[in-house]
Structure 1
Amino acid sequence: MKQIEKDTIIGDILDADPTTAQYFFEMGMHCLGCPASRGESVAEACEVHGVDVEEILEKLNAHISK
């Protein structure tokens, strides 16, 4: 995965790099196994969980660039 964006689907991120799950857990998203959460975009999940989308994108993209 080259770059994670607001509209990137969480399931696609987890499939490409399962170690990104920690960042979703940190934002309070503990239901990563359920089909609904895997089908959400990063922006949708951030809206539901009250998290700054730019902050999580920065963390995720820094992580996958390692």
Structure 2
Amino acid sequence: MTSAACASTKRLTGVSLSSLRNGVVHAFRSDDLVDDIMRTAPHTIRVFLAFRMACVGCPIATFHTVEDACREHGIDRKKFLAALCDCVPA
């Protein structure tokens, strides 16, 4: 994985964002597309808003990874990924 997985998530190799669709794994990575995260896990939208990231509804979100969005908005990537993981329902 390119980023730290959530503390409550088992470390699995090869886990992709698509595994979130069934609510099985909650491992967000810095190379996940912003739009994919928000569509697959809509409860994460509040994290984007809390960090004042205007990604919700932005046409660039379909191309930007978490890494890209954090860099563009001046957000610490590790803190943002941790917040995404913390918002995931148990």
In 2, are the aligned partners of 1:7 and 1:43 still within 8 Å (CA)?
Answer: yes
CA RMSD after TM alignment: 1.5
Gaps of 5+ in 2: 1-19
Gaps of 5+ in 1: none
1:21 corresponds to 2:50: no
Q: Distance in 2 between matches of 1:7 and 1:31?
A: 15
Higher relative contact order (CA 8 A, sep 6+): 1
Q: Give percent identity, aligned residues only.
A: 29
